[in-house]
Amino acid sequence: MAIVFTMLFSGGLIPLYLVVRATGLINTIWALIIPGLVSTFNMLIMKTYFENLPAEVEEAAKVDGCGDIQTWVRIVLPLSTPIMATLGLFYGVGHWNAYFAGIMYLNDKSLYPIQVVLRNMIQTPNVSQELAIANPMTLAALPPETIKMATVVVAIIPVLVIYPFLQRYFVKGMLLGAIKG
């Protein structure tokens, strides 16, 4: 119940900032990763998935002489690749698209993630200030909207490249819970 309570009620933005500052993560890349490392919702999804794995497989491993860790590494982890791939994609896309943490925790512009740069480019009319390109003459020849849309495409490419490789795990996860017969 305590874990579900944190899903409904959070401590708030200011206490989270104070915790990140107290741990010395301000102006580091870890300030973007560590605060959102564990999601209560995703943890409940994974718990439900592990509970629905067949107990007979684990019992067979125990009969064959596997210990708890060996059963987990050799049996449970290979069976749980669909849920891990799904949650990995959820976390990856969530961290990739997050820009508020970059604004809140980072002061050094060289550490800004691409989403913060893109947000700043869209909000400011002068795109050249955000890009810091060595040759401003080539930048002046392009319309600002072209540079903004090119940055949007560059920001989308990693997700578009990774998704087809993880899509097969989504299909396996759906078929695992389907009725067979």
Kindly list the averaged pLDDT for each block of 10 residues, start to end, along the chain of length 181: 84 90 94 88 86 86 89 88 86 87 90 87 70 59 77 88 81 52 41
* Residue carrying the six token digits 């401590």: 11
Cβ neighbourhood burial of 39 (10 Å; 0-12, 13-18, 19+): middle
* Residue carrying the six token digits 């319309």: 143
User: What pTM value is reported for the model?
Assistant: 0.73
pLDDT for 103 equals 92
Q: Which of 122, 112, 99, 115 is CA-nearest to residue 154?
A: 115
pLDDT for 20 equals 93
pLDDT for 173 equals 56
Dist. CA 83–CA 68, nearest whole Å: 21
pLDDT for 4 equals 83
pLDDT for 9 equals 86
8 Å CB contact between 118 and 151: yes
